Each structure stands twice: as C-alpha cells, then as structure tokens.
Chains A and B, each alone.
Chain A
Amino acid sequence: MNHVKPVNRKARMVERAAKHGAGDVKALQSLPLGCSLIFDPGWETDAAGGVSGLCQPVEADLYGCYDDCWWPAQVPDQLTNYLSWSDSCAAAERDWRKLDLIYPDR
C-alpha cells in the first residue's frame, strides 16, 4: 500500500496524516472499553460475552462495518473518514493481507 500513489485528494490527505506522526504524543490504547449493544453482535464479543455469535470469519463482516461506519472505534469508516481504505482489496476474506490497519503510530 505504501508503494501505491493515492489517486484522489482525500487519499492524499490520509497519507499525509499518516506520515505526520507527531513526536512522542501517541497511541494510548490497549483494550476497548466495551461496545457490545443489546442485540447487535459487538466488535469483540457477542451479546453473551463470547465470540460464537460474532460474524464468521470477521473478514466477512469487515466491509459491512467499514461501509456503514458500524464500529467507528475499531474499524475505519467509508462514510466520512477513510473513503479509499478498501481499494486495494476487493474481497477481505481472500485478500485481507493487502489491508492496512490504521494505527496512530504508522
């Protein structure tokens, strides 16, 4: 992904923001603080607190969440912030290795 020149303005902005990586002010996240809603499967756990009720594999559901900004704290969103995130990977289950995860440090 780093070798692909972003084609649109927004993608360039994303790239700039990614490079910005200012100083030592960073990445203060270890564990999520819980997002499981009543009948939605959560991102980390299902309503029962396990993983068997989650989407399987997660790659099947990844773009559904990405497209509609379903877990904004855990998944990039296409509605506003990361329009081109999935461009390099048409099918997440097959090509998930092509996806860049968005870490504040990268």
Chain B
Amino acid sequence: MKALLIFAFTVALSFAQESELYVLGVHPHGIVIFDGTRHEIAGQIQTRGRAPKELVPSPDGKFVYTTTDGRAKLEVVNLETRSIDRVLEITPPGYRLTIYGLVLNGKGDRLYVHVKPVRELIDRYVVDPPQIWSVDVATGKTQKVAEVPQGVAALALTKDERKLIAWGRDLYYIDVAQNRITDTFPLMNQPSPTAGALNTLALFIQFERSGIFSIPYYTRDPITAKDLMGLVNLDVANGKVDVVELGSPIPLYSAVVSPDRKHAYAVMNQLLAIDLEKKRITQITDLERTRYVANISRDGKRLFVSGAAPFIHVYDTATLQLIKTIELPGDPSVTSFRALPAR
C-alpha cells in the first residue's frame, strides 16, 4: 500500500513538473498525453465514449473537455486523476446533437459549443438551425447564444470574450451580449466577382502556441482561372484575418503557426515550411504517412506531426528532418492535437 502511494506520488510529481504536454484523442476510446520535451507518451486516459474529437484544455491545465461517440457526448477529462470526471449532459430529451466547435472562456467556467440539433420524432427527423450554446461547466446548464448558418466547423473566442468567431463557409463574428452575428468575414461568399471563393475546412484545431488559427485555403482565381492556395490566418485574440497567398496548390489538411508568428508549417502528404513575412514556401519534405495535424513546441524548434496513422513524428523546424517516431496505441481521431497550458 505504501509502495503504491509512493508510486502515485512520484507519478503525480513528475506529471506536475512537466511543462510541455500535449493531448490528442485516439481510437477506440482514449486520450494520449504526449510529453513534448522527452518525446514520449506520458499517459493515457480512457474516455467513456469512442474516438475523442475536439479537445479543449482548461486554463489551469487540469481538465480537458472533449467530444466523443460521434461528436454526441461532451466529457470532462481529469488530467490529474487520469479519468473521466463526468459527462456534461447537454442533449435535450428527444434530441440528438452533433458538436462541431468547442471553446472555453478565460476563467474556465463557461464552454461555448456549436451544436447541430436534430429532433427525433417517432417517424421523422426535424433539423433545427445550427446554433451556439453556452454551457455552465459546473452545472451543465445550457443557454442559446445565437443561430449560425450550416457549415460551422470550429469556434474561437476573442480575448475580451465579447465575440465568438465561428469558422464555417465564412467567418461569423457573434456578439455574445447581443446574441447575434454582427460581422462576417467572407471566405466562400466573396462580394467581388474578381475574388475567388476561399475554400477552407476548419476541422484541425491547434492555435494555442501562436494565437493564430491557421487553415489552408484553395481558390480558383476568377481573372486568370488559375488554382491557388494559401493560408487564412485568424488572430484569435482580436478576430483579425490575414489571407496569405502562397501559389500553386499542394494538397494540405492543416497548418500551425510558430510562437513568434513568423513561420507556419502545413501538412498532408508533405510537410511545408512557410515564411509568413515573405509569404513563401521555404522548404518541402515528404512525410512518413499522410498526416492531418501538427503542433509546435513552445520554443518553436520542434514540430509534432500526427493525426491519421498511429504515430507522432517529431521534426526539427529548421531542417525539417525527422527526429523521432513515437507509436500511438490507436489511430488519432480527427481533429485536435492541443498543447496543455503551462502549470
């Protein structure tokens, strides 16, 4: 018993001393804690539902909120006890919810979720408009914030917490006090006929190192009819958007911006290093497998590439050389690979 206590204490201590931890969901029902300093798996937590998707850490780094079971379940993961604290029951009776978009406020007591509610009547489905709810983390009580157009994939919250940003076919800015969309940044619905629609898919969420939520876009330029790609960079703190055009398309799923905001790294079958100031691709290397997401170390020197295929590959950001391969117990579920806040 004593030995066990000492062991538990040691584990807890070593856990507390870790300063650079990451979480990602894996099949069939787990969350892997990755040590970004030692480049090894620091722990695993079994979730109640299958295939954890989005992950949002609490500001104190003690909890992670995640969606499981086909984005229908909202679980509270306790990183200290390495277990599920509870499931936030937010689905009203007679409904089915699918959750795309999850963000926590600065205090960590209020979650915003983008839900797609479906009323399951006895002989038919009735789809309610997609909407954003705020969830009281302590009680699980929900309140509708605003309805949004179909197609929202991710949520962000400005630093002053007055605006939610919903990333869908366009970027929608929702005033939390006014309960409505007050502004839209056009992506697919360009107002000018000489601007090509920016096709983005914001399912890959890891912006905490830089505060820049960066998603690759593809477009066909209406003047030249040429296909182009680039990055839509959203500064989460103030909601400002920077569209960085990069040239001919290379298939990419996602991008991550370095902590100094000078570089971005994008992945699919290749890893691209992008100089954001010069707006150019500086290096390209073939990846070991197709990958969905990458996160970046706090010092910006290491890239942790994962999602799709049961590995984390550690790359050197300066050389794009593979440093280490870490096997995962299961396939990473799309979409989050999040850095935990420093403790």
Q: Contact between B331 and A79 (Cβ–Cβ < 8 Å)?
A: no
Tell me if B334 and A91 are in contact (CB < 8 A).
no
Query: Please, which residues of chain A bring their CB within 8 A of the CB of B291?
Result: 60
* Chain A residues near B70 (CB-CB < 8 A): 67, 77-80, 83
Interface SS of B by simple majority: loop
- Residues from chain B with Cβ under 8 Å of A67 in the complex: 51, 53, 70, 333-334
Bound-complex Cα distance A24 to B53 (A): 40
Report the minimum CB–CB distance from A100 to chain B (whole Å).
Answer: 15
Chain A contacts with B in 46-103, Cβ cutoff 8 A: 46-47, 53, 55-57, 59-64, 67-68, 77-80, 83-84, 86-87, 89-94
List A contacts of B331 (CB < 8 A): 60, 62-63, 90-93
Q: Interface range on chain B: under 10, 10 to 19, 20 to 34, or 35 or more?
A: 20 to 34
**Number of residues on chain A facing chain B (CB within 8 A):** 31
A37 CB to nearest B CB, Å: 9
Q: Count A-B contacts at CB 8 Å.
A: 90
Cα distance, A43 to B310, chains bound together (Å): 20
Give the distance to chain A from B86, nearest Cβ to Cβ, in Å: 20
Chain B residues near A93 (CB, 8 Å)? 289, 309-310, 331
| Known A63-B333, A67-B334, A68-B203; contact A91-B50, beta-carbon cutoff 8 A | no
A79's nearest neighbour on chain B, judged by CB, is: B70
Whether the pair A90, B26 counts as a contact (CB closer than 8 A) is yes
Q: Given A64-B308, A79-B71, does the pair A86, B199 have CB atoms closer than 8 Å?
A: no
Chain A residues near B289 (CB-CB < 8 A)? 56-57, 60, 93
A60-B309 CB under 8 A given contacts A39-B199, A78-B51, A90-B330: yes
A80 to B290, CA, bound (A): 26
- Point out the residues of chain A lying under 8 angstroms from B50, CB to CB: 78, 83-84, 86-87
B66 at the interface (CB under 8 A from A): no
A46 to B269, CA, bound (A): 12
Q: Whose C-beta in chain B lies nearest to the C-beta of A68?
A: B334
Q: Report which of A39, A60, A84 forms a contact with B251, defined as CB distance below 8 A.
A: A39
Which B-chain residue is minimally distant from A66 (CB atoms)?
B51
Q: With contacts A79-B71, A83-B50 known, is A60 near B308, CB below 8 A?
A: yes
B308 neighbours in A (Cβ, 8 Å): 55, 60-61, 63-64
Q: What chain A residues lie within 8 Å of B53 (beta carbons)?
A: 67-68
Which chain B residue shows the least CB distance to A63? B331
- Taking CB as reference atom, which chain B residue is nearest A70? B334
Q: Is the CB of A53 within 8 A of B334?
A: no
Complex partner residue of B199 from A38, A63, A83, A87, CB under 8 angstroms: A38
B265 at the interface (CB under 8 A from A): no
Known contacts A67-B334, A68-B71; can you find 4 more A-B pairs with CB under 8 A? Answer: A64-B292, A68-B53, A89-B27, A91-B310
Residues on A facing B (Cβ under 8 Å): 38-39, 41, 46-47, 53, 55-57, 59-64, 67-68, 77-80, 83-84, 86-87, 89-94
